Amino acid sequence: MDPLTWKALAAKLETTLQSLHRWRQMDDAPTEPNLEAWQAFKTLRNLGRDRPTSELVALKAELLREQIKRERARNARESADVIDREVVETMLVTLGQKLSLLLRPKLEVELGPRMVGKNAAEVCVEGALIVNEIREVVNANLATFETDALPKTRDSNG
């Protein structure tokens, strides 16, 4: 009987020549291409392909479900409304200008008279009122943007 080559041994052990080479570097690895010695070593060290267990199959199925869920979410995002960058930039510039026009009179003109003679708690209440007034203006502008700019974007996209 001819002695086994390392390549033939790898084939009989159902592994690659590279894996067999890595195994040869391990402590107590057989030094010769002896099939029985290598089968015993492989079993002792639990080397080679992992055999699927029910737990491993369940984990792989869960991973696959998560990947499918992530892809569906990505597809949903990609099929949703997409706004042109120029439209968003224009909206942000306009909103910035309107905020500046709103904040300047609120802080320079109204703030002082609204705070005169008030204690700290009353100042906080007045500040909250000013913030709410600003928030209403911003929300109204965003609503206008949604009703005006988004349909134009949809029309131009197809």
90-113 pLDDT per residue, tens: 888 888 888 888 888 878 888 888
Q: What local confidence, expressed as pLDDT, does residue 97 receive?
A: 86
Decide: pTM greater than 0.95: no
Which residue is listed with tokens 């802080």?
107
Token representation of residue 158: 């197809």
- Higher pLDDT: 141 or 118? It is 118
Task: Give the integer Cα–Cα distance in Å for 129 and 118.
Answer: 14
